[in-house]
Amino acid sequence: MQYIGITHRGESWAAALVDSRVFPLAPVAGFWADAAGWQDKSVSLASGVAGASVSGNSASDAGSWLERGSVTEVPLVPASARVICVGLNYKAHVAEGSYKDQELPPYPTLFGRWTASLSVGNVPVPVPAGEDGLDWEGEVAAYIGQRVESADEATAAESVFGYSTFNDITARRAQKLTSQWTLGKNGDFTGPLGPLVSRDEVGDLRDGLQVRTRVNGVEAQNGNTRDMIFSVPAIIALISQTLTLHPGDIIATGTPEGVGYARTPQWLLQPGDTVEVEIDKLGTLTTPVGDLSLRGRA
């Protein structure tokens, strides 16, 4: 099953997505309060598609199937969510950049994004002032579907509700100012997410999903999730030893080799460019690049 966030009745709602149509299910916070239950309901809903409703729930009067093109999409992420990103999680990516002379880390390199930096497909991202351009990082985002506290890897694996495409678009100058990456990883609209695809349709990332990034149609990245240094269950289990994860939290799992700053000469995104992230079973996420004037939307 696939889901997106939409603006509905003046707030952010979760919606089931089938082909080009969406059905509003519940406000985002309500969806994540019972993600498994909403999955069961939405699967039944999808089997009927047109004219279907969800009986026994307040969403039964939420409307009917809508054309996707008629709604405004928003991230399917509650305001309370933590977005925890993994850096340096593919060996070839470690080897290509400024960390190439270092040993592989014994633990995943983790950093945070604020939900305010998140966006969705086809929303232009501005190049910040002082940057020579933006860099792409195509990757898989994993969504937590249940509370996770001090978990082992088996429990952590079961906590994943689903996955989506993600582009961890980065302002490299800001990122490299200090040893902490927060500033360069939180630019306006720099965290676009694609539709959420439930785990049962995706399977285990260790079995391998191809991750491809294209810039203006030219392939820039082509990696596979089986080459991750740290698996999603291992990452979640480690995080859960320190902080409790909640439904709607996101783990961005890292990017393969092929980023722009590591090239000679550097290849960075400029206004007018378009970057696409295509991942097996998850679809294609498209993001246009604009100029500084777009920051007025933030």
pLDDT tens-digit map of 259-293:
999 999 999 999 999 999 999 999 999 999 998 78
Instruction: Name the nearest CA neighbour of 2 among 110, 143, 116, 113.
Output: 143
Instruction: Name the nearest CA neighbour of 26 among 37, 163, 18.
Output: 37
Do residues 252 and 86 lie in contact, with contact meaning Cβ atoms separated by under 8 Å? yes
Average pLDDT of span 229-253: 98
Task: Quickly count: other Cβ atoms within 10 Å of residue 98's Cβ.
Answer: 11
Do residues 192 and 287 lie in contact, with contact meaning Cβ atoms separated by under 8 Å? yes
- Which pLDDT belongs to residue 173? 97
Is 0.85 surpassed by the pTM of this model?
A: yes
pLDDT > 60? residue 61: no
Contacts made by residues 45-52, CB under 8 angstroms, sequence distance 24+: 45/16, 46/1, 46/16, 46/18, 49/18, 49/21, 52/23
The chain-wide mean pLDDT, for the chain, equals 93
Contacts of 143 (CB under 8 A, 6+ apart): 76, 160, 161, 162, 163, 164, 196, 248, 249, 250
- Which pLDDT belongs to residue 62? 55
Average pLDDT of span 233-245: 98
Question: Model confidence over 132-173: pLDDT tens digits?
Answer: 999 999 999 999 999 999 999 999 999 999 999 999 999 999
Q: Which fold has domain 83-297?
A: Fumarylacetoacetate hydrolase; domain 2 (3.90.850)
Question: For the chain, what percent of residues have pLDDT higher than 90?
Answer: 84
- Which pLDDT belongs to residue 94? 81
Domain with CATH 3.90.850.10 in the chain: 83-297
Both tokens assigned to 43: 């699967």
- In degrees rounded to 5, what are phi and psi of residue 83? -110, 105
Half-sphere exposure of 172 (CA within 13 A, CB side): 16
Name the DSSP letter for residue 275. E
State CA 181 to chain mean position distance: 18
Confidence of residue 60 (pLDDT cuts 50, 70, 90): very low
- Which pLDDT belongs to residue 42? 93
Task: Quickly count: other Cβ atoms within 10 Å of residue 283's Cβ.
Answer: 16
- Judged by DSSP in three states, 101 sits in coil
